[in-house]
Amino acid sequence: MDKYEYFLRELNKNFDLDLLGYKRPQMERRINSLMRTLQIKTYEEFIKKMREDQKIFNRFIDHLTINVSEFFRNKAQWDVLKEKIIPMLLLNNKHLKIWSAGCSTGEEPYTLAMILREHFPEGNHSILATDFDTRVLNKATRGIYSQKEASGIPEPYLKKYFIFKNNIYRVDSSLTKLITFKKHNLLKDTFESNFDLILCRNVVIYFTDETKNQLYRKFFNSLISKGVLFTGSTEQIIQAREIGFKSVAIFFYQKP
Protein backbone atom coordinates (compact mmCIF):
# COMPACT_ATOMS: atom_id res chain seq x y z
CA MET A 1 0.00 0.00 0.00
CA ASP A 2 1.47 3.39 -0.98
CA LYS A 3 1.31 6.51 1.22
CA TYR A 4 -1.71 8.01 -0.55
CA GLU A 5 -3.69 4.76 -0.19
CA TYR A 6 -2.74 4.69 3.49
CA PHE A 7 -4.05 8.26 3.82
CA LEU A 8 -7.39 7.33 2.20
CA ARG A 9 -7.75 4.32 4.49
CA GLU A 10 -7.06 6.46 7.59
CA LEU A 11 -9.54 9.12 6.40
CA ASN A 12 -12.21 6.45 6.10
CA LYS A 13 -11.37 4.94 9.47
CA ASN A 14 -11.09 8.21 11.42
CA PHE A 15 -13.64 10.47 9.73
CA ASP A 16 -15.95 8.10 7.78
CA LEU A 17 -14.81 9.89 4.62
CA ASP A 18 -14.45 7.68 1.55
CA LEU A 19 -12.47 9.23 -1.33
CA LEU A 20 -11.85 6.02 -3.28
CA GLY A 21 -14.43 7.00 -5.90
CA TYR A 22 -12.61 10.25 -6.73
CA LYS A 23 -10.01 10.57 -9.49
CA ARG A 24 -6.62 10.13 -7.84
CA PRO A 25 -4.50 12.72 -9.73
CA GLN A 26 -6.84 15.65 -9.00
CA MET A 27 -7.48 14.66 -5.38
CA GLU A 28 -3.83 13.94 -4.63
CA ARG A 29 -2.85 17.30 -6.11
CA ARG A 30 -5.43 19.19 -4.04
CA ILE A 31 -4.49 17.38 -0.82
CA ASN A 32 -0.74 17.87 -1.31
CA SER A 33 -1.18 21.56 -2.13
CA LEU A 34 -3.15 22.09 1.11
CA MET A 35 -0.48 20.21 3.09
CA ARG A 36 2.19 22.54 1.68
CA THR A 37 0.09 25.58 2.62
CA LEU A 38 -0.32 24.24 6.17
CA GLN A 39 3.37 23.21 6.29
CA ILE A 40 2.48 19.59 7.03
CA LYS A 41 5.06 17.15 5.73
CA THR A 42 3.49 13.69 6.03
CA TYR A 43 0.06 12.09 5.69
CA GLU A 44 0.41 10.67 9.21
CA GLU A 45 0.93 14.16 10.61
CA PHE A 46 -2.03 15.47 8.59
CA ILE A 47 -4.39 12.81 9.97
CA LYS A 48 -3.17 13.56 13.52
CA LYS A 49 -3.70 17.32 13.11
CA MET A 50 -7.20 16.85 11.65
CA ARG A 51 -8.14 14.62 14.58
CA GLU A 52 -6.88 17.21 17.08
CA ASP A 53 -8.12 20.39 15.40
CA GLN A 54 -11.62 20.73 13.91
CA LYS A 55 -10.59 23.90 12.06
CA ILE A 56 -7.95 21.99 10.09
CA PHE A 57 -10.45 19.27 9.25
CA ASN A 58 -12.98 21.92 8.11
CA ARG A 59 -10.29 23.51 5.96
CA PHE A 60 -9.56 20.12 4.42
CA ILE A 61 -13.24 19.59 3.55
CA ASP A 62 -13.45 23.10 2.06
CA HIS A 63 -10.36 22.44 -0.04
CA LEU A 64 -11.68 19.09 -1.17
CA THR A 65 -15.18 20.09 -2.20
CA ILE A 66 -15.96 22.68 -4.83
CA ASN A 67 -18.94 24.33 -3.20
CA VAL A 68 -19.52 26.76 -6.04
CA SER A 69 -23.20 27.26 -6.65
CA GLU A 70 -25.37 30.01 -8.06
CA PHE A 71 -29.02 30.73 -8.70
CA PHE A 72 -30.23 29.84 -12.21
CA ARG A 73 -26.78 28.50 -13.16
CA ASN A 74 -26.72 27.92 -16.97
CA LYS A 75 -30.07 29.68 -17.40
CA ALA A 76 -30.83 28.16 -20.83
CA GLN A 77 -30.99 24.70 -19.21
CA TRP A 78 -33.43 25.96 -16.56
CA ASP A 79 -35.59 27.31 -19.40
CA VAL A 80 -35.67 23.83 -20.98
CA LEU A 81 -36.62 22.38 -17.59
CA LYS A 82 -39.44 24.92 -17.18
CA GLU A 83 -40.80 24.85 -20.73
CA LYS A 84 -40.35 21.20 -21.73
CA ILE A 85 -39.32 18.80 -18.96
CA ILE A 86 -41.64 19.74 -16.08
CA PRO A 87 -44.78 19.95 -18.30
CA MET A 88 -43.83 16.50 -19.65
CA LEU A 89 -43.42 15.10 -16.12
CA LEU A 90 -46.76 16.57 -15.04
CA LEU A 91 -48.53 14.49 -17.67
CA ASN A 92 -47.42 11.47 -15.65
CA ASN A 93 -47.84 12.82 -12.12
CA LYS A 94 -49.49 16.02 -10.81
CA HIS A 95 -47.41 16.11 -7.63
CA LEU A 96 -43.68 15.96 -8.38
CA LYS A 97 -41.16 14.33 -6.07
CA ILE A 98 -37.74 15.86 -6.82
CA TRP A 99 -34.19 15.31 -5.54
CA SER A 100 -31.42 17.92 -5.74
CA ALA A 101 -28.35 15.70 -5.17
CA GLY A 102 -25.23 17.59 -4.10
CA CYS A 103 -27.21 20.78 -3.41
CA SER A 104 -24.26 22.68 -1.86
CA THR A 105 -25.38 26.02 -0.32
CA GLY A 106 -28.97 25.72 -1.59
CA GLU A 107 -29.10 27.88 -4.71
CA GLU A 108 -30.18 24.95 -6.90
CA PRO A 109 -33.16 23.71 -4.82
CA TYR A 110 -34.34 27.29 -4.22
CA THR A 111 -34.15 28.00 -7.98
CA LEU A 112 -36.25 24.91 -8.54
CA ALA A 113 -38.72 25.94 -5.84
CA MET A 114 -39.16 29.37 -7.46
CA ILE A 115 -39.90 27.78 -10.84
CA LEU A 116 -42.44 25.41 -9.28
CA ARG A 117 -44.16 28.15 -7.26
CA GLU A 118 -44.27 30.58 -10.17
CA HIS A 119 -45.19 28.31 -13.07
CA PHE A 120 -46.64 25.08 -11.60
CA PRO A 121 -48.35 26.10 -8.35
CA GLU A 122 -51.21 23.59 -8.56
CA GLY A 123 -49.20 20.52 -7.57
CA ASN A 124 -48.21 19.46 -4.08
CA HIS A 125 -44.53 19.21 -5.08
CA SER A 126 -41.65 18.26 -2.77
CA ILE A 127 -37.88 18.71 -3.07
CA LEU A 128 -35.28 16.66 -1.21
CA ALA A 129 -31.98 18.58 -1.18
CA THR A 130 -28.89 16.68 -0.02
CA ASP A 131 -25.15 17.17 0.45
CA PHE A 132 -22.48 15.39 2.46
CA ASP A 133 -20.97 18.66 3.82
CA THR A 134 -22.90 19.70 6.93
CA ARG A 135 -21.67 23.28 6.87
CA VAL A 136 -22.97 24.03 3.36
CA LEU A 137 -26.26 22.35 4.34
CA ASN A 138 -26.52 24.67 7.35
CA LYS A 139 -26.16 27.70 5.06
CA ALA A 140 -28.71 26.24 2.65
CA THR A 141 -31.19 25.64 5.49
CA ARG A 142 -30.79 29.21 6.77
CA GLY A 143 -31.58 30.53 3.28
CA ILE A 144 -29.65 33.79 3.71
CA TYR A 145 -27.68 35.21 0.77
CA SER A 146 -25.60 38.31 0.12
CA GLN A 147 -26.49 40.72 -2.69
CA LYS A 148 -23.66 39.27 -4.76
CA GLU A 149 -24.89 35.69 -4.21
CA ALA A 150 -28.43 36.71 -5.17
CA SER A 151 -27.35 38.59 -8.32
CA GLY A 152 -28.43 35.77 -10.68
CA ILE A 153 -32.07 35.86 -9.53
CA PRO A 154 -34.46 37.67 -11.92
CA GLU A 155 -35.83 40.85 -10.32
CA PRO A 156 -39.52 39.72 -10.18
CA TYR A 157 -38.50 36.50 -8.36
CA LEU A 158 -36.25 38.44 -6.00
CA LYS A 159 -39.10 40.75 -5.00
CA LYS A 160 -41.63 37.96 -4.65
CA TYR A 161 -39.64 35.19 -2.95
CA PHE A 162 -37.00 36.99 -0.84
CA ILE A 163 -37.08 39.42 2.07
CA PHE A 164 -34.39 42.10 1.82
CA LYS A 165 -33.11 43.49 5.13
CA ASN A 166 -29.70 44.75 6.35
CA ASN A 167 -28.18 44.19 2.89
CA ILE A 168 -29.02 40.48 2.83
CA TYR A 169 -31.72 38.42 1.16
CA ARG A 170 -33.66 35.84 3.16
CA VAL A 171 -35.67 33.14 1.37
CA ASP A 172 -39.42 33.42 1.91
CA SER A 173 -41.21 30.57 3.71
CA SER A 174 -43.26 29.83 0.57
CA LEU A 175 -40.04 28.30 -0.85
CA THR A 176 -38.60 26.72 2.29
CA LYS A 177 -41.77 24.69 2.93
CA LEU A 178 -41.20 22.88 -0.39
CA ILE A 179 -37.69 21.71 0.55
CA THR A 180 -36.28 19.15 2.99
CA PHE A 181 -32.51 19.47 3.51
CA LYS A 182 -30.68 16.33 4.56
CA LYS A 183 -27.11 15.07 4.88
CA HIS A 184 -26.36 12.34 2.34
CA ASN A 185 -23.20 10.82 0.88
CA LEU A 186 -23.73 9.82 -2.76
CA LEU A 187 -20.90 7.29 -2.62
CA LYS A 188 -21.97 5.48 0.56
CA ASP A 189 -25.60 6.03 1.53
CA THR A 190 -28.68 4.30 0.17
CA PHE A 191 -30.86 6.18 -2.31
CA GLU A 192 -34.56 6.91 -1.89
CA SER A 193 -36.79 5.93 -4.80
CA ASN A 194 -39.83 7.03 -6.84
CA PHE A 195 -38.45 10.41 -7.90
CA ASP A 196 -40.01 12.16 -10.89
CA LEU A 197 -36.93 14.35 -11.33
CA ILE A 198 -33.35 14.15 -10.06
CA LEU A 199 -30.86 17.01 -10.44
CA CYS A 200 -27.17 16.14 -10.10
CA ARG A 201 -25.29 19.01 -11.70
CA ASN A 202 -21.60 19.91 -11.48
CA VAL A 203 -21.10 17.27 -8.79
CA VAL A 204 -19.43 14.27 -10.44
CA ILE A 205 -16.53 15.98 -12.26
CA TYR A 206 -13.95 14.61 -9.81
CA PHE A 207 -15.37 11.09 -9.71
CA THR A 208 -13.73 8.20 -11.56
CA ASP A 209 -15.56 6.94 -14.67
CA GLU A 210 -16.45 3.72 -12.85
CA THR A 211 -17.93 5.67 -9.90
CA LYS A 212 -19.90 7.95 -12.25
CA ASN A 213 -21.31 4.93 -14.04
CA GLN A 214 -22.39 3.30 -10.77
CA LEU A 215 -23.93 6.59 -9.63
CA TYR A 216 -25.93 7.07 -12.83
CA ARG A 217 -27.24 3.49 -12.55
CA LYS A 218 -28.38 4.21 -8.99
CA PHE A 219 -30.10 7.41 -10.14
CA PHE A 220 -31.81 5.40 -12.90
CA ASN A 221 -33.13 2.97 -10.28
CA SER A 222 -34.32 5.85 -8.07
CA LEU A 223 -36.49 7.37 -10.81
CA ILE A 224 -40.05 6.34 -11.53
CA SER A 225 -40.93 5.25 -15.05
CA LYS A 226 -40.71 8.34 -17.33
CA GLY A 227 -38.70 10.17 -14.63
CA VAL A 228 -35.83 12.43 -15.69
CA LEU A 229 -32.22 12.99 -14.59
CA PHE A 230 -30.88 16.53 -15.13
CA THR A 231 -27.04 16.74 -15.28
CA GLY A 232 -24.52 19.61 -15.43
CA SER A 233 -23.21 21.31 -18.54
CA THR A 234 -19.94 19.31 -18.56
CA GLU A 235 -21.52 16.00 -17.57
CA GLN A 236 -23.09 14.28 -20.56
CA ILE A 237 -23.59 10.58 -19.80
CA ILE A 238 -21.47 8.58 -22.26
CA GLN A 239 -23.15 5.24 -21.47
CA ALA A 240 -26.69 6.62 -21.17
CA ARG A 241 -28.25 4.11 -23.57
CA GLU A 242 -26.42 1.19 -21.98
CA ILE A 243 -27.76 2.20 -18.56
CA GLY A 244 -31.29 2.45 -19.98
CA PHE A 245 -31.72 6.21 -20.34
CA LYS A 246 -32.98 7.97 -23.43
CA SER A 247 -31.99 11.58 -24.10
CA VAL A 248 -34.98 13.96 -24.16
CA ALA A 249 -32.91 17.17 -24.40
CA ILE A 250 -29.22 18.03 -23.92
CA PHE A 251 -28.34 17.18 -20.26
CA PHE A 252 -31.79 15.60 -19.65
CA TYR A 253 -32.09 11.80 -19.53
CA GLN A 254 -35.37 9.93 -19.19
CA LYS A 255 -36.06 6.50 -17.77
CA PRO A 256 -38.43 4.91 -20.34
27-70 residue pLDDT tens: 888 888 888 988 998 888 899 888 888 888 878 877 776 556 78
**195 against 65, higher pLDDT:** 195
Q: Are 140 and 149 in contact (CB under 8 A)?
A: no
Q: pLDDT class for 206, splitting at 50, 70, 90?
A: confident
Range of the domain at 84: 75-254
* pLDDT over 90 percentage in the chain: 59
- Residues 180 and 242 both lie in one domain: yes
Among 11, 35, 64, where does a domain finish?
64
Counting the structural domains of the chain, the total is: 2
Tens-place pLDDT, residues 128-156? 999 988 888 999 999 999 999 999 999 99
Q: State the burial class of residue 244 (Cβ atoms within 10 Å of its Cβ: 0-12, 13-18, 19+).
A: middle
pLDDT for 66 equals 59
d(CA 62, CA 7): 18
The answer to whether residue 247 sits within a structural domain is: yes
220 and 116, same domain (yes or no): yes
The answer on 223 and 98 residing in a single domain is yes
Answer yes or no: is 70 within a domain: no
Tell whether 54 and 80 lie within a shared domain.
no
Answer yes or no: do 79 and 199 share one domain. Answer: yes
Angle between helices 54-64 and 24-37 (to 10 degrees): 140
pTM of the shown model: 0.80
pLDDT of residue 1: 64
122/221 same-domain check: yes
Give backbone dihedrals phi and psi of 144, rounded to 5 degrees, phi first.
Answer: -115, 130
Question: Could you tell me if 79 and 55 lie in one domain?
Answer: no
Whether 60 and 10 map to the same domain: the answer is yes
Q: Are 177 and 246 found together in one domain?
A: yes
The neighbour count for residue 247, using CB atoms within 10 Å, is 13
Give the pLDDT score at 211: 87
Q: How far is CA 216 from CA 14, 19, 139, 203, 219, in A?
A: 28, 18, 27, 12, 5
